[in-house]
Amino acid sequence: MTDKKVRVRFAPSPTGGLHLGGVRTVLFNYLFARQHGGDFVLRIEDTDQSRYVEGAEQYILDCLQWCGITPDESPVAGGKYAPYRQSERKTIYRQYAEKLVMEGYAYYAFDTPEELDKNRKEIPNFQYGHAYRDTLRNSLNLPQHEVDQLLDAGTPHVIRIKMPVDEQVSFTDMIRGQVSFDTNQVDDKVLLKADGMPTYHLAVVVDDYLMKITHAFRGEEWLPSAPVHLLLWKYLGWYDDMPQWAHLPLILKPDGHGKLSKRDGARLGFPVFAMNWFDAKTGELTPGFRELGFLPQAFVNLLAMLGWNDGTEQEIFTMDELVQKFSIDRVSKAGAKFDFEKAKWYNAEWIKRSEAESLKPEVIAVLADKGVNAKDDQYLLTVIDLIKDRVTLLPDFYQQSVYFFEQPKEYDLAAVKPKWTDAKTDFFKEFMTKINSLTNYEAVELENTFKAFMEEKGFKMGDVMLPFRIMLVGGKFGPHVFDIAALLGKEETIKRIEGALVAFTA
């Protein structure tokens, strides 16, 4: 398979929001394809029409776009193996299902849903497989003429794979090594449903073959399906073209017990979807990382590190660096615990490292959402550079920067009033005069003037520095106070001292 062009695919079902585990699967596929000069294919597996959700396909496309992952072939981009929606490929699959029946690897099953429900109720752990299939309504035990009559009459039926008895099925997983299955433990999966739609099992094999997929990365929850897929590749005569498989480890709950779910995120207060997902059927809004205030670069970076590392201490990677350094043999077999505090750390690091210009659109949007109009372009860039080290999530830019655009509406009076004195009032009144007389109104000059005057009046740093900060920003936060004052300008600084003195002495 090394001489073939690498082709990988992500094949989601449009049934809801995109879980971060799904995005990580996309990412690993994408990195592998880019590293090997291959193709990344997006294929929509919408064969289960009962679970199809309007808007879910566009949502998947939007999530990939936000993450900076562009498929080479997709329902939108097209490609020479189109169509890329399985519902539009419906006519392709029956011929392969019928071929399997003709060659004895599959069979028609005419059991009604009611009959199957009755069996499930009456037989403990009932499975439609080798133990019971010879007693059920299917072409394995009905006379041929009766099977023909049922088919001619258009009787609803499915096509099931006939799993062999007492066989071991094995393959080499790129992460897990040799994996084996006992065919007796696997039921006869439906391949073609009564509505003519294929199930995932048939469609994924046929489409991977026809689209010349060379490597298939998917979550480890698909491992139990592997023996069915292996046998289909073999029975359809395509075994030599079967992709190399890698079953990725689960993303686990923070305590390490079980797969991380949407409910866990809701319970613990963090998102598990890439972007906000609104389910029109239920009216439920599930929050996403984007809307919480994550940069896409940080989201991609943290996902890459869930179950993979490059063998060094490096934790911050650009997409280009990930493409260069990613290797499937560095992916862990064990599940990766999701740590939201660590996720936020990645975001803070990426905000710190980002140029102010690249953050500007996000900051403008955050401020506009709160009714703050940041007009002056250069002023805003300076503000961003001054405060970005203090920001964890993008909405934090409001609290960390609003005082640069408007006077504080309230002050942390509890931190000031208990120790306020007339002498401090006089200090700041005189300091305003000193500010006004400065010809070089810059942070260093301002700080030197403040400290000299403070010593002259017999104050310690703690006596007047904190009140000065609260005068300017309203609270005990923000960057170096003299940087703030310098950026606000002489007039605005004096105006804020005057306004705060009224509040402090009331």
Contact between residue 192 and residue 158 where contact means Cβ atoms under 8 Å apart: yes
The residues annotated with a catalytic role in the active site are 262
Helix (H, G, I), strand (E, B) or coil at 190: strand
Average pLDDT over the chain reads 96
Could you give the CA distance from residue 352 to residue 204 in angstroms, rounded to a whole number?
Answer: 43
Of the chain, the end-to-end C-alpha distance in Å amounts to 80
Q: Is the pLDDT of residue 170 over 50?
A: yes
The pTM assigned to this predicted structure is: 0.93
**What Rg value do the Cα atoms of the chain yield, rounded?**
32
Q: Is the pLDDT of residue 339 over 70?
A: yes
Q: Are strands 215-219 and 168-173 parallel, antiparallel or unpaired?
A: unpaired
Q: Is the pLDDT of residue 337 over 70?
A: yes
Confidence at residue 506, expressed as pLDDT on a 0 to 100 scale: 87
Q: What does the CA dihedral 428, 433, 437, 442 come to, rounded to 10 degrees?
A: 20
Could you give the CA distance from residue 118 to residue 225 in angstroms, rounded to a whole number?
Answer: 25
In this predicted model, what pLDDT tens digit does every residue of 437-446 receive, in sequence order?
999 999 999 9
Confidence at residue 433, expressed as pLDDT on a 0 to 100 scale: 97
**What mean pLDDT comes out for the span 313-333?**
97
Question: Cβ–Cβ contacts within 10 Å for residue 87, how many?
Answer: 15
Contact between residue 461 and residue 450 where contact means Cβ atoms under 8 Å apart: no
Could you give the CA distance from residue 317 to residue 322 in angstroms, rounded to a whole number?
Answer: 6
Q: Is the pLDDT of residue 498 over 80?
A: yes
Which residue in 265, 344, 361 sits closest to 299, CA to CA? Answer: 344
CATH of 407-506, one of 3.30.70.120, 3.30.2130.30, 1.10.10.350, 3.10.20.310: 1.10.10.350
At residue 493 the predicted structure's pLDDT band, cuts being 50, 70 and 90, is very high
Q: Is the pLDDT of residue 49 over 80?
A: no
The proportion of the chain whose per-residue pLDDT surpasses 90, expressed as a percent, equals: 94
Confidence at residue 282, expressed as pLDDT on a 0 to 100 scale: 85
**What mean pLDDT comes out for the span 10-23?**
93
At residue 352 the predicted structure's pLDDT band, cuts being 50, 70 and 90, is very high
Confidence at residue 280, expressed as pLDDT on a 0 to 100 scale: 82
Could you give the CA distance from residue 318 to residue 331 in angstroms, rounded to a whole number?
Answer: 18
Q: Is the pLDDT of residue 334 over 70?
A: yes
Could you give the CA distance from residue 448 to residue 106 in angstroms, rounded to a whole number?
Answer: 87
**What mean pLDDT comes out for the span 323-347?**
96
Question: Cβ–Cβ contacts within 10 Å for residue 444, how many?
Answer: 11
Compute CA distances 342 → 263, 275, 302, 322, 347, whole Å.
Answer: 20, 19, 8, 19, 9
Q: Is the pLDDT of residue 191 over 50?
A: yes
Distance of CA 61 to the CA centre of its chain: 13
Contact between residue 271 and residue 264 where contact means Cβ atoms under 8 Å apart: no
Residue 451 annotated as binding site:
no
Q: Which residues of the chain are in CATH 3.90.800.10 domains?
A: 89-205
Which residue in 424, 435, 481 sits closest to 458, CA to CA? Answer: 424
Q: Is the pLDDT of residue 206 over 60?
A: yes
The β-bridge partners of 179 are 171
Q: Is the pLDDT of residue 80 over 50?
A: yes
Question: Cβ–Cβ contacts within 10 Å for residue 113, how many?
Answer: 9
In this predicted model, what pLDDT tens digit does every residue of 83-114 receive, in sequence order?
999 999 999 999 999 999 999 999 999 999 99
Name the most confidently modeled range: 3-17, 21-35, 373-387.
21-35
Could you give the CA distance from residue 46 to residue 50 in angstroms, rounded to a whole number?
Answer: 9
Any idea which architecture 89-205 has in CATH?
A: Alpha-Beta Complex (3.90)
Q: Which residues of the chain are in CATH 1.10.10.350 domains?
A: 407-506
- Tokens, residue 500: 């705060």
Helix (H, G, I), strand (E, B) or coil at 423: helix
Helix axes 422-437, 461-473, angle to 10 degrees: 70
Could you give the CA distance from residue 292 to residue 346 in angstroms, rounded to a whole number?
Answer: 14
Could you give the CA distance from residue 90 to residue 196 in angstroms, rounded to a whole number?
Answer: 7
Which residue in 274, 350, 366, 357 sits closest to 316, CA to CA? Answer: 350
**What mean pLDDT comes out for the span 45-61?**
88
Residues ≥6 apart with Cβ < 8 Å to 255: 337
Q: Is the pLDDT of residue 127 over 80?
A: yes
Q: Is the pLDDT of residue 2 over 70?
A: no
| DSSP codes of every residue in 260-294 | --HHHHHHHT---BSS-EEETTTTEEE-BHHHHT-
Could you give the CA distance from residue 469 to residue 416 in angstroms, rounded to a whole number?
Answer: 11
At residue 51 the predicted structure's pLDDT band, cuts being 50, 70 and 90, is confident
Could you give the CA distance from residue 89 to residue 75 in angstroms, rounded to a whole number?
Answer: 12
Confidence at residue 1, expressed as pLDDT on a 0 to 100 scale: 43
In this predicted model, what pLDDT tens digit does every residue of 283-312 receive, in sequence order?
899 999 999 999 999 999 999 999 999 999
